[in-house]
A and B are shown apart, each in its own frame.
Chain A
Amino acid sequence: NAGVTQTPKFRVLKTGQSMTLLCAQDMNHEYMYWYRQDPGMGLRLIHYSVGEGTTAKGEVPDGYNVSRLKKQNFLLGLESAAPSQTSVYFCASSYSSWTYEQYFGPGTRLTVT
């Protein structure tokens, strides 16, 4: 089992460029999450999904879009990157509800110049 994987591991974007971060899990988990982690701010929830074909906004959704076309994949898109989106992005999944343990991917380090 690979667990939760994220692609890419690192990326540098120029302001205004777009990109998609891919998260994949092989644990058949229903819930998936995208977080960003910034110094002094902790992990903040961007978007989440409670099952295939569903998505919902988290605490800091502005500037991001997501899709969950397949149960095992959760994509995070940045349509027009801004320097404020420089961060480490973590994807996570959990078996069922919010009360279950979350398994995290290794993270994507994104720099927007």
Chain B
Amino acid sequence: RKEVEQDPGPFNVPEGATVAFNCTYSNSASQSFFWYRQDCRKEPKLLMSVYSSGNEDGRFTAQLNRASQYISLLIRDSKLSDSATYLCVAVTGANNLFFGTGTRLTVIP
């Protein structure tokens, strides 16, 4: 079983739609979580950290569900510029950092 699993997509949504991705992690001791964004043939960049209480940054909301061991990312009012691959990360400690394979999002005009 993979440490971190994501639905690879692709998710094709119209502009203005709301879309949500989930990411499950296998190690219950994981303590830190992140969402990164990766554009085609570019490096990953941090989108947001995921806090236990959930957090919001503009149109983006991240949630953590420790009981079911998943994190989620909600994007409201999707823009064309949101088209990218979204990577989730779970960190358990030193040398225990795992990226998911990514979920590809395409926002359609």
Q: How far is the CA of A98 from the CA of B94 in the complex (A)?
A: 7
Name the residue on A nearest B45 (C-beta).
A104
Contact check, A56 vs B95: say whether CB atoms are below 8 A apart.
Answer: yes
Q: How far is the CA of A49 from the CA of B34 in the complex (A)?
A: 20
Name the residue on A nearest B2 (C-beta).
A42
Contact check, A42 vs B99: say whether CB atoms are below 8 A apart.
Answer: yes
Does chain B have a CB within 8 A of A106? yes
Q: Which of B46, B91, B100, B102 touches A98 (beta carbons < 8 Å)?
A: B91
Chain B contacts for A59, CB-based, 8 A:
98
Q: Which of B46, B95, B96, B101 touches A42 (beta carbons < 8 Å)?
A: B101
Chain A contacts for B57, CB-based, 8 A:
none
Given A102-B46, A104-B45: A43 in contact with B99 (beta carbons within 8 A): yes
Contact check, A98 vs B32: say whether CB atoms are below 8 A apart.
Answer: yes
Chain A contacts for B44, CB-based, 8 A:
43, 90, 102, 104
Q: How far is the CA of A45 from the CA of B92 in the complex (A)?
A: 14
Q: How far is the CA of A31 from the CA of B45 in the complex (A)?
A: 17
Name the residue on B nearest A48 (C-beta).
B95
Chain A contacts for B32, CB-based, 8 A:
98-99
- Contact-residue size bin, chain B (C-beta under 8 Å from the other chain): 20 to 34
Given A42-B99, A43-B99, A45-B97: A99 in contact with B43 (beta carbons within 8 A): no
Contact check, B45 vs A98: say whether CB atoms are below 8 A apart.
Answer: no
Contact check, B43 vs A98: say whether CB atoms are below 8 A apart.
Answer: no
Name the residue on B nearest A39 (C-beta).
B101
Interface residues of A in 70-106 (CB under 8 A from B): 90, 98-99, 101-106
Given A42-B87, A56-B95: A101 in contact with B101 (beta carbons within 8 A): no
Contact check, A104 vs B101: say whether CB atoms are below 8 A apart.
Answer: no
Does chain A have a CB within 8 A of B58? no
Counting chain B CB atoms within 10 Å of each CB, the highest count among A44, A56, A101 belongs to: A101
Chain B contacts for A51, CB-based, 8 A:
none
Please, could you name 15 A-B residue pairs with CB atoms under 8 Å apart, sorted by A? Answer: A35-B99, A42-B4, A42-B87, A42-B100, A43-B87, A48-B95, A56-B95, A90-B43, A98-B91, A98-B93, A98-B97, A101-B34, A106-B42, A107-B42, A107-B43
